Amino acid sequence: MRLEQLQAFLAVAETGSFQQATQRCQVTQSTISRQIQGLEVELGLPLFHRTSQAKLTVAGERFLPRARKICQEWQTATEELAELLAGKQPELCVAAIHSVSAQYLPPVLQQFCQDYPNVQLRVTSLGSDRALKVLRDGLVDVAIVMNNRFLTASPEMVVDTLFEESVEVLIAATHPLIEFDRIPWLELSHYPQVVFKDGYGMQRLVQEQFQRKSLDWKPVVELNTLDGFRGMVRQGKLVALLPKSALLEVRHDPALVVRPTEEPVLSRQVVLVTTQDRLDIPPIQHFRTLVQQMIGAPLKAQASAVVSF
């Protein structure tokens, strides 16, 4: 059964004439007759009495509302897809790691809202692994996460590297480790740590570093907010290994200190991930471009300037 057969059937049924149906469908009468005959063969029943006026048979009367519904559904579907291609999607859903949501994303969101005022933005802060899962499940359109090649290696995934940043140590200003300009990994292994919850890429990154060095890793508190990390570390002996972007505001807090680690310095790569089919939709493509221009390009330029200096 083809759509043009249904359209021919409706044209004949609604005009009561094969000849008038040709004008509506913009085809010849022989084409209309052939389409109706093919439909009748497929259904196994005649749909019209062949008289001076095309009158529906019992089967035709029964089939008419079904044919109308199918054609209406097709028309609705094509209109919705045309609106999607024209950038008229109702919302755009983004999942991003906390540090990016807090530090880098607000200007992008503001610009996007100006460019697409009729598209509602929905932004959720999630850990990297969770964000990639909801992207694969179709619950969000874009994920901005710490790269995990095991989760982004699928052919349909599009991965844009935004920036790479070091992981540094957050301690209280009264902590014993304050004596080190670069804190040795061995010394870090002696202290309990505040860590991101399971499902956050940072937890896995830090844990693997201690495993590679055959050192004890002592997570005692799991959190998922940057304010929570700062509050816990202020208490005294706890330490936290956090990405540089999560520590920008800390440098103005006299109760807290940020120190780099000794070599090798741990780092993470932050990426934007979406799927190839989503990039056919103008608002999603535009959001990707804004992130590349307003987050990726400036931070890469800063990194190059530091290296050159």
Per-residue pLDDT of the chain (309 residues; tens, 9 = 90+): 788 888 888 888 888 888 888 888 888 888 888 988 988 898 898 988 877 788 888 998 899 999 889 888 888 787 677 766 766 678 999 999 988 998 899 999 999 999 999 899 999 999 898 999 999 999 999 999 999 888 888 889 999 999 999 999 999 999 999 999 999 999 999 999 999 888 788 898 999 999 999 999 999 999 988 889 999 999 888 999 999 988 988 878 899 999 999 998 999 999 999 999 999 889 999 999 999 999 998 887 776 655 444
Residues of the chain with CATH 3.40.190.10: 91-161+272-308
Residue 220 parent element (H or E): strand 219-223
* CATH C-level class of 3-85: mainly alpha
Residues of the chain with CATH 3.40.190.290: 164-267
Strands (DSSP E) contained in 21-118 are 48-49, 55-56, 91-96
CATH entry 3.20.20.330 includes domain 91-161+272-308? no
What angle separates helix 3-15 from helix 18-25, to the nearest 10 degrees? Answer: 130
Closest by CA to 53, choosing from 5, 13, 16, is: 16
- The CATH code belonging to domain 164-267 is 3.40.190.290
Structure-token pair, residue 86:
């024209």
Q: Are 47 and 61 in contact (CB under 8 A)?
A: no
Q: Are 211 and 217 in contact (CB under 8 A)?
A: yes
Burial class from Cβ neighbours inside 10 Å (0-12, 13-18, 19+) for residue 26 reads: exposed
